[in-house]
């Protein structure tokens, strides 16, 4: 009998106490910096030493206080059991790589997702890599994997306790056997197979405070890492980062160099059919925002997507013998953003988005449209996987309140049929999605959509959760969230604003919300709140805001600039001290997004919105839960520690401010078990609902 995998979804980023209990007091120290004749106070800098005994004791005191607070909320709303119920979704989501199909899945409530594999869609899935057996001392999370061209070996990358630092191991597939290969100091790396080895990126040392000097190596299976061949490095620019890939036929190695400081991209390649194969420049000094991605090849010709000279992206052909001459064969669509491209043997699949509506278009290599599939509003497609020569490929679509439905697509006839039914334990048809547009402070039209239960009356009394991201040119697409289902069933509205800084409207939308234009992102978010209030979808007493990472920064800025608009704020793994962001871990990589303090214009721009530096001693800010993870080495938790301490220790703060620090976790939160991840999300919704509904 076939075993069905249970896929458990928890979306970390999607998502009234007054000071009844006295929050922990935090010691202040006299620490100042003088930058461009401005004296900047930093009275909680001692919290930057995150491993000091004094800091650890302070964190435990904060967690103890937040646990006590959250228990009161859980008694009323019990989000844990509600979200747990909506999380159990039965369906198959196989990803084809080589000859096999792979699936990440939990097999119990206390494990982390393991990697399952099967030889065909009808075969029974078997565990191939179980992270629970990699270490008994650390919490292990699988990051990515890649199958060798002959489908005999699989290289997989994993991390410990939530860190971005990874390790790579190798396992045989047909006969599951662990190889001795074990690579360290890996970070922000892919795995690119070539013959009996693979290319990967590493750093000289896994130093929390220094992420510089990335290099590309080739590892031959069965050898020690010390024997790996150095392929590429930049001794004169140690802050540059690299990615590498091989084309499916393993003819080309493509190296992409990103230089954030100079806002430049360089591409290099090796053509292995060349008897004197070596690294050659392909495209150099391309502007960062003109981004280019090599998608594959058709013989001598490379297929790529780029934003050079266009706003929404186009496809080009590059002849490696004359790489400066590009041929555009799928031009830009003026009203639709190119999200993703899949290269097949005789056709191209493009996924486009326009105002949260996605469309799948099929092209031949002459750029002619062969077929189109229109997706429902508020849903996202993805997971297109298979080999270039496959006649059938798999893809899926999902929404915030509908889990994935996986389809088998015939790329010759374009016929699509469900792989198997998706089973949920709630009525996903009871929710409605509304497409809106509002005007920001400068007249710019910003897309917004809302989800709510059908039949509810849209009034100012609706508890509403507003979310956004707005950074790094990212497009946040809908994914199933049982937490949102729970919030909607409590009568809530979930709203998402496509603010500038993200790429929802193309390259210009990105440029208008980054660097010295970053305030546009925050203004767009604030304008979304004003729109919801003015149109009586919600009110300041019923409006909560949340966001993760850069979205958490958006929340931190909005709540400090316009606190009167919000009842609740939940920033997650957010940067708050923008003057010192560049000094820790990978903060120096973000000069292109935020600027830095190396010049006066960058300093004053950062100071103007840095949440930590714009807290007024006399203002009562919204009820706030600051969520972070103790091992986050992307946005170090020190940002959250200092922000919480400063918010809590002021005479004007009456609404409760709590800090929730997840143990053994990194930037993506509680990944060490399903139960921990569920508890993390449940705490967020308990806190929000208690403040919005307990009046």
List the catalytic residues. Answer: 549, 667
- d(CA 637, CA 49) in angstroms, rounded, equals 10
- 486 and 79 in contact (C-beta within 8 Å)? yes
Q: How far apart are CA 543 and CA 566, in angstroms?
A: 5
The answer to whether 383 and 86 have CB atoms below 8 angstroms apart is no
Q: Is 71 helix (H, G, I), strand (E, B) or coil?
A: helix
Q: Looking at residue 25, what DSSP letter applies?
A: P
Q: Where are the alpha helices (DSSP H) in 203-327?
A: none
Residue 377: helix, strand or coil by DSSP? Answer: coil
Nearest to 298 by CA among 231, 263, 347, 359: 347
Q: DSSP states of 514-545 as a string?
A: SGGGHHHHHHHHHHHHHHHHHTTS--TTTEEE
Rounded (5°) CA angle 538-539-545: 80
Measured CA to CA, the distance from residue 682 to residue 652 in angstroms comes to 29
Residue 459, CA distances (Å) to 455, 456, 490, 492, 627 in order: 12, 9, 15, 11, 30
Q: Return d(Cα 628, Cα 659) in angstroms, integer.
A: 8
Strand pairing of 623-629 and 657-662?
parallel
Strand partners, 669: 666
- H or E segment at 67? helix 53-77
204/213 Cα distance (integer angstroms): 7
For 87, 108, 340, 375, 420, the CA distances from 412, given in Å and listed in that order, are 36, 40, 20, 20, 21
């Amino acid at each position: 009998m076939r075993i069905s995998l249970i896929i458990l979804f928890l979306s970390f980023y999607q998502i009234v106490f007054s000071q009844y209990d006295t929050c922990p007091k935090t010691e202040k120290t006299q620490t100042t910096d003088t930058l461009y004749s401005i004296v900047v106070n930093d009275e909680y800098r001692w919290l930057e030493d995150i491993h000091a005994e004094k800091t650890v004791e302070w964190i435990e005191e904060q967690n103890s206080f937040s646990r006590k607070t959250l228990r009161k909320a859980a008694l009323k709303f019990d989000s844990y059991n509600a979200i747990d119920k909506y999380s159990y979704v039965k369906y198959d989501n196989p990803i084809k790589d080589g000859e096999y199909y792979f699936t990440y899945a939990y097999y119990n409530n206390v494990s982390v997702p393991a990697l399952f594999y099967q030889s065909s869609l009808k075969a029974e899935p078997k565990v191939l890599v179980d992270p629970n057996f990699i270490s008994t001392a650390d919490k292990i999370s699988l990051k990515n994997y890649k199958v060798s061209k002959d489908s005999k070996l699989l290289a997989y990358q994993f991390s410990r306790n939530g860190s971005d630092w990874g390790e790579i191991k190798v396992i045989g597939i047909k006969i599951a056997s662990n190889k001795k290969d074990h690579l360290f100091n890996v970070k922000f790396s892919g795995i690119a197979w070539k013959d009996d080895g693979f290319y990967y990126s590493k750093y000289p040392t896994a130093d929390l405070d220094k992420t510089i000097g990335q290099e590309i190596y080739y590892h031959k299976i069965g050898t020690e890492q010390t024997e790996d061949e150095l392929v590429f490095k930049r001794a004169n620019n140690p802050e540059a980062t690299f990615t590498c890939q091989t084309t499916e036929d393993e003819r080309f190695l493509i190296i992409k160099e990103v230089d954030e400081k100079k806002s430049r991209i360089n591409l290099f390649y090796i053509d292995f059919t060349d008897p004197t194969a070596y690294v050659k420049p392909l495209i150099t000094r391309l502007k960062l925002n003109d981004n280019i991605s090599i998608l594959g090849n058709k013989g001598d010709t490379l297929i790529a997507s780029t934003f050079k000279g266009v706003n929404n992206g186009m496809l080009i052909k590059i002849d490696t013998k004359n790489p400066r001459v590009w041929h555009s064969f799928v031009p830009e669509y003026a009203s639709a953003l190119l999200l993703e491209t899949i290269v097949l043997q005789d056709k191209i699949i493009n996924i486009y988005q326009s105002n949260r509506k996605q469309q799948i278009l099929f092209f031949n290599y002459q750029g002619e449209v062969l077929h189109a599939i229109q997706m429902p509003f508020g849903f996202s497609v993805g997971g297109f996987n298979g080999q270039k020569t496959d006649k059938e490929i798999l893809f899926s679509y999902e929404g915030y309140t509908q889990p994935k439905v996986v389809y088998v697509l015939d790329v010759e006839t374009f016929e699509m049929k469900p792989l198997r039914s998706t089973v949920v334990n709630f009525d996903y048809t009871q929710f409605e999605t509304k497409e809106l547009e509002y005007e920001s402070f400068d007249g710019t039209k910003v897309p917004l959509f809302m989800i709510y239960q059908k039949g509810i009356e849209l009034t100012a009394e609706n508890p509403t959760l507003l979310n956004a991201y707005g950074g790094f040119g990212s497009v946040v697409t809908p994914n199933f969230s049982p937490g949102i289902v729970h919030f909607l069933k409590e009568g809530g509205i979930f709203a998402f604003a496509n603010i500038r800084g993200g790429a929802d409207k193309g390259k210009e939308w990105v440029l208008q919300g980054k660097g010295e234009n970053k305030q546009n992102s925050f203004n767009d978010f604030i304008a979304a709140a004003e729109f919801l209030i003015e149109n009586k979808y919600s009110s300041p007493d019923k409006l909560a805001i949340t966001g993760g990472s850069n979205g958490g920064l958006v929340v931190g800025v909005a709540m400090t600039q316009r606190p009167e608009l919000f009842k609740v704020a939940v920033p997650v793994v957010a940067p708050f001290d923008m003057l010192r962001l560049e000094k820790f871990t990978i903060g120096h990589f973000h000069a292109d997004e935020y600027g830095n303090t190396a010049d006066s214009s960058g300093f004053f721009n950062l100071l103007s919105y840095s949440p930590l530096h714009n807290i007024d001693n006399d203002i009562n800010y919204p009820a706030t839960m600051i969520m972070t993870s103790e091992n986050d080495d992307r946005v170090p938790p020190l940002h959250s520690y200092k922000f919480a301490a400063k918010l809590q220790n002021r005479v004007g703060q009456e609404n409760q401010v709590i800090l929730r620090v997840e143990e053994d976790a990194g930037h993506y939160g509680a990944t060490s078990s399903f139960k921990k991840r569920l508890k993390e999300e449940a705490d967020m919704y308990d806190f929000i609902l208690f403040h919005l509904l307990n009046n």
